[in-house]
Structure 1
Amino acid sequence: STGDLPATTKLDLVIYNSITTRSRLNRTIAGEQLGSALFSTTATALSANQTTTTLSLPINEQWPAREGGTVLTQSGIYPVLIEATAPNGSRLASIVTHLLRLPSETTPTTPISLAATVVIDAPLEVSPDGSPRLSDTQLARAGEQFRILGGS
């Protein structure tokens, strides 16, 4: 919603080059290390009677780009900054989100690193101090799952 922003606010949308590591993804989620701008839209001004605004970004997979849009030929995770600025140029608010450009089905890709989640298929018991209490069987099963995930 744009309801809390002054009517003279301008909204800018910037796409940055794709990211390739989990640590960089974490940094961009925090609004840091966005990298080099790949494309930006012209500022969209709010009007006095708007409480919401739609920002459009036409994206093609190949050239030529559609009017007001860009081309993303490479698959990847692209940080997108949406920034609200006052007429004097001061930043009022901003948010970073991500655009996922999926590869074509025939394109070989290297996946980004992920964390593993291990399912423990029994109710978790808790000690009086709040720490988990697992039976020897549960610990052995969890250890086996981690061993399989670790490839040892």
Structure 2
Amino acid sequence: MSIPLALASGTGRFYKHSAKIIRFARHGCTNRPFFHIVVMERRKAQHQPVIEQLGTYDPFPNEHEEHLVAFNFERIRYWLGNGAHLSTPVAELLGIAGLLPIHPRTYMTAWRNRRAAEEAAAKASESGADANKAPESKEGGSGTS
């Protein structure tokens, strides 16, 4: 009789030569996701038994506006050394964490956010300038003092 393993240690069987992938497995509630970073066989669905859990990721910011991420870098290096592939979201997180080069999509997201902030600041300054001009035009008829 075998003792069942804890879920975090992984319960899935794996074949030595099958393709592995490090990816997210979604947990949590409706409208409140929480992700485990896991190693599993590439062709399996995300809720199938995993080989090993390598970390966690909470996409919602906490009270300090931080996204909480935990990695087991030693095991991630082990699996990458054994030929495991990475999903794009996990590659982005590992790039931000400094284990891998920064993913190009991270650069594009930062560029879009920066451009949107600049446009919002420009609109706010224009509306502020319009608000300053509006009372002057209402007070005096000619606008000169």
> Fold match, TM over 0.5?
no
The interval holding the TM-score normalised by the smaller chain is: under 0.3
Q: TM-score, normalised by structure 2?
A: 0.24
Per residue, is there more strand in 1 or in 2? 1
Of structures 1 and 2, the one with the larger relative CO (CA 8 A, separation 6+) is 1
Q: TM-score, normalised by structure 1?
A: 0.23
Per residue, is there more helix in 1 or in 2? 2
